[in-house]
Structure 1
Amino acid sequence: MFTSFSRPQWAVGFAVAVTAVLFALPSRAEPAPPYEALIESLDRIPITVEAEALLDAANARAQQARALPNPSVSVETENVYGRGPFSGYDAAESTFSINQPLELWGQRGARIGAAQAEAKVAALRRDQTQWTVAGSLALIYSEAEAASLQYELAVEALELTEADANAVMLLIEEGREPSLRGIQANSEVESARAAVDEARANRDAAFARLTAAAMLVQPVTAIEPSLLNRSPDASFQAMGNPLTVQIAEAELEAANKSVSVERLRARPAVSASLGVRRFQEYDTEAFTFGINVSLPLFDRNKGAISAARAEERAAAARLTTAKLQTQANRSAAQARLDASITRIRAADKGVASAEEAYQLARAGFDAGRISQLELRSIRSALISARNTAVNARLARVRAEVELAGLDGRAPF
């Protein structure tokens, strides 16, 4: 339970009983590792493995972009096996040449720059994936902890309801309450018992989600240390350029470089050749030189250039949207985080007041000054206040997860 919840002696007794029951259960698995340990093992999560693999692929493409075009080798023989003086091989002219494509007008540099820009985008997306997974683990971890706490609260609520029902039965036996009150008390006990079963199912489901999300070998049965009680670092300074905006800027840069690549592809393809020609008739050789230039008469790459420019405009629009939304989302997340902190303080005070009120109401009920209906209402208020305190802490975790995702960091 939260250490900020002040409990009277009777509540402490119930808590001890609940703890004894929990520890008496057979241990089926180890508790969940601390949140920090889960963060350190992010590289095992499939989605982060995928992001890392995509980054490796982008880096490999950037490395491949530096490679020069391969030369081609040709062997050609002329003036052979014809008629007259060319009937045999004596008048043959054989040419051996090497042809090397030339990347002029900065084509190679543009190709390298585009590949490097794509690798930068992949690196930023890898970082974003890591922080997203870290935030998801924090949320699942805290939800499992909250479900465990709510189960313990449901067990304590059942204990309180049974204790109140026993008190009602004593009053009925003494003739101070009608038998109808006993039926109502038993109905409340059954309702509280059903709430315990539901809370247990929710807890087991949350533990299963955590086991799957963290890829743990053994299923968990407990959460420690607490993440719900941890306060975000108030001294953290948000980065000047959020990660979402950085990704949008990198995508725009990559789109710009892609336009340059497509524009240069419309230029003529130039290749140079160097060879040796063998004159069989004169038993001698001579060098050959050549330049081959393509004529862009039919294919000027206009469609690819238009597509690249359209993608550039789309990237620019995404950048504008990212700048507007990120600032607004961060302000909203910070406001929700501040509100959740205030809500936690109010909820803790509400729990203390509700526990004191219930203690006085129970004493008044035993003395015959408080009706069963009033006692039930005050007990319900206590149960609600305790659950509200848990939900307030869970809301703080959610706000911190959202804020950390916008800032490009792990929560807490």
Structure 2
Amino acid sequence: MPSNRWPLHAALACVASGVLCTSVAAQTAPPFPILLKQAQTSAPCLALGVAETRAAEGLAVQAAARPNPTLGLVVENAAGSGPYKDFGRAETTLSIEQPLELGGKRAARTSAAQADLAAAQARAALGQIDFARDLMLAYANAEAAQQRLAIARDSVDLAQADARAARLLVDNGKEAQVRAVQADAGLATARAELGTAGAEAETALARLSALTGSPERYAAVAGGLLDAVPPPAPPEPAFSPAIAAARAERDAAERRVAVERARRASDLALSFGVRRFQDEDATAAVFGISAPLPLFDRNRGAVAAATANAQAAQARLAMTQAEQDGDRRAAAAQAAAADQTLDASWQAETAAAEAHRLARIGYDAGRLPLSELLAARRDLIAARGRAVDTKLARVKALADLARAQGHVPFGDQP
């Protein structure tokens, strides 16, 4: 695809941004690679991934903690009746009790927490790729809306020129009054389409601002994404963030099965203390050991639920692997198709522009009717719009392909 064909399209975006960007330059979104880097610290969805990872880190630290001992003080044979009405014959016991986790509970719990942390980190990495894709599409939509707005302004200018030419011929008696009415109707339609294009541009810019978490609303974009050429990507990527996240979720689910199985083992509680016999002015050591009897609760339901969740996670991993393969193949096909049609759309736009120029000359010379001129103008505007649509479809296909391959197209370009 010849590179010298795209400056004209970039100029359309500059025309639109020159009208939209009447405020300070800081309100113009920078080129996509720069905006992507700036949004790393302000995008709400990325902050969510960071917070979830920190929460998993805290739970991993907590999972490794041992159970706390219990300090107890018991006073017996006091504040009663008869010889026990006071504390003269009281028995005071000071003890400490330490639970002992058996069955590998702590090791299983720690392993599961580490797996949960790995899953949170994998989800955060996937969130980075998903955010880059969403920002890429939002930026491309805003740039396309800018170009459509520029096309709509050109359409109004062309319609005004057609209306002036029709009015001149009507005033000179060379055309019927109905031709001027038809030209004015075309001008009104072009103005209505300009209003719609302006609203769509405002909407696209508002969505871009919201996605980046920018404190100020963008009034324009610097552009360049629709016409950028991405660096070649490996046809068979060795790493997929979506598959990595699904695999980490599967591993974490399997570790939770081990946690529930370990909970079936009964724990022991060892105690040691000192007892004071007040009436005899003597002390003695107290030893104890206790354990729950697993008569009614063997944690069978929790084990079954964790096993089912692990099976579901394995199924989701298989689904993700299949979906990623299908998405990658579909996006590659769409990107190739967009590249093939991009040159054709440019040729169609060039031909439509030439046809409109010749129709205008023919109409001014009185050799063509007004309907031919109006049709040529509609074809030209439609061809320009199709060119923008084709470039936008190409960017979307590249964004989907990049997500499936685990990288960000244009993200490293200056």
TM-score, normalisation: structure 1 = 0.87
Q: Is this contact kept in 1: 2:21–2:219, CA < 8 A?
A: no
* 1:330 and 2:328 are equivalent in the alignment: yes
Name the structure 2 match of 1:221. 219
Partners of 1:314 and 1:195 in 2: CA distance:
51
Matches within 5 A, 1:186-335: 186-236=184-234, 239-278=237-276, 285-335=283-333
Q: Is this contact kept in 1: 2:96–2:272, CA < 8 A?
A: yes
2:35 to 33, 38, 45: 38
Partners of 1:272 and 1:26 in 2: CA distance:
75
Q: 1:222 to 1:77 in 2, by over 3 A?
A: closer
Q: Is this contact kept in 2: 1:6–1:352, CA < 8 A?
A: no
| 1:207 Cα offset (Å) | 2.2
* 1:67 and 2:71 are equivalent in the alignment: no
Q: 1:155 to 1:308 in 2, by over 3 A?
A: same
Q: Is this contact kept in 1: 2:335–2:394, CA < 8 A?
A: yes
1:385 to 383, 399, 412: 383
Partners of 1:25 and 1:211 in 2: CA distance:
15
Partners of 1:381 and 1:332 in 2: CA distance:
31
Partners of 1:229 and 1:174 in 2: CA distance:
46
**SS of 2:289 mapped into structure 1:** strand
AA of the residue aligned to 1:298: F
**SS of 1:67 mapped into structure 2:** coil
Partners of 1:24 and 1:261 in 2: CA distance:
63
Q: 1:137 to 1:26 in 2, by over 3 A?
A: closer
| 1:368 Cα offset (Å) | 3.1
| 1:222 Cα offset (Å) | 2.2
AA of the residue aligned to 2:23: R
Name the structure 2 match of 1:344. 342
| 1:84 Cα offset (Å) | 9.7
Q: Is this contact kept in 2: 1:93–1:280, CA < 8 A?
A: yes
* 1:357 and 2:324 are equivalent in the alignment: no
Q: Is this contact kept in 2: 1:42–1:133, CA < 8 A?
A: no
Name the structure 1 match of 2:403. 405
Name the structure 2 match of 1:28. 23
CA RMSD of the aligned region, Å?
3.0
Gaps of 5+ in 2: none
Gaps of 5+ in 1: none
Q: Which moved more, 1:190-199 or 1:259-268?
A: 190-199
Q: 1:303 to 1:223 in 2, by over 3 A?
A: same
Partners of 1:73 and 1:26 in 2: CA distance:
70
Residues matched between the structures, number? 403
Partners of 1:256 and 1:113 in 2: CA distance:
10
Q: 1:76 to 1:359 in 2, by over 3 A?
A: same
Partners of 1:314 and 1:152 in 2: CA distance:
51
Partners of 2:203 and 2:82 in 1: CA distance:
94
**SS of 2:145 mapped into structure 1:** helix
Q: 1:83 to 1:164 in 2, by over 3 A?
A: closer
2:106 to 108, 112, 115: 108
Q: Is this contact kept in 2: 1:74–1:96, CA < 8 A?
A: yes
Q: Is this contact kept in 2: 1:244–1:322, CA < 8 A?
A: yes
Name the structure 1 match of 2:149. 151
Partners of 1:84 and 1:220 in 2: CA distance:
87
| 1:24 Cα offset (Å) | 7.4
Deviations 1:128-158 (A, max 9, x none): 2222222222211111111111111111112
Q: Is this contact kept in 2: 1:107–1:265, CA < 8 A?
A: yes
Deviations 1:148-190 (A, max 9, x none): 1111111111212222232333333444333322221221122
Partners of 2:41 and 2:174 in 1: CA distance:
67
| 1:280 Cα offset (Å) | 5.4
| 1:361 Cα offset (Å) | 2.5
Partners of 1:165 and 1:286 in 2: CA distance:
113
Name the structure 2 match of 1:51. 49
Q: Which moved more, 1:212-221 or 1:129-138?
A: 212-221
Partners of 2:292 and 2:221 in 1: CA distance:
69
AA of the residue aligned to 2:124: R
Partners of 1:182 and 1:269 in 2: CA distance:
95
| 1:89 Cα offset (Å) | 6.2
**SS of 2:29 mapped into structure 1:** coil
TM-score, normalisation: structure 2 = 0.87
